[in-house]
Amino acid sequence: MISLGVDIGGSGIKAALVDTEKGKMISERLRVDTPESLMPQDVIPAIVGLIKQFDHDGPVGMGFPAVVIDGCPGTPFTAHHIQEWVGYPVARTVSEQLGR
């Protein structure tokens, strides 16, 4: 299966296509700077813009520096130093903005 992996970090957001059966990247890794504010309303558009650079309609996996509790993937309940991310529906918001 081919998936798009997205790494959401404090200084950069990176993404690449991955063959999950072989465990290998199959595209160039693209990177954009994480907006300085680190606020959801600024970071989410950067994530969506990066995802749109790939011609990929399949699964997208996102890594986010937070704890996910009670089977709520994509919803960080803790976030180091940035309270605005606590409880923010990252996966749902990105999905809505991508229209899928």
Are 52 and 46 spatial neighbours (Cβ–Cβ below 8 Å)?
no
When computed from its CA atoms, the radius of gyration of the chain, rounded to whole angstroms, is 13
Average confidence score pLDDT of the chain: 88
CA distance 34 to 13: 6
Please give the C-alpha separations between residue 51 and each of 18, 20, 63, 98, in angstroms, as whole numbers: 13, 18, 13, 9
Number of alpha carbons in the 13 Å side-chain half-sphere of residue 34: 15
> For residue 35, is pLDDT > 80?
yes
pLDDT confidence tier of residue 80, bands split at 50, 70 and 90: low
Query: Which CATH code, of 3.40.50.150, 3.30.420.40, 3.90.1640.30, 3.40.309.10, is assigned to 2-98?
Result: 3.30.420.40
Q: What is the pTM of this model?
A: 0.87
Question: Do 98 and 92 touch, CB atoms closer than 8 A?
Answer: no
pLDDT for position 67? 73
Give percent of the chain above pLDDT 90: 65
| Helix or strand run (H / E) with residue 90 | helix 90-98
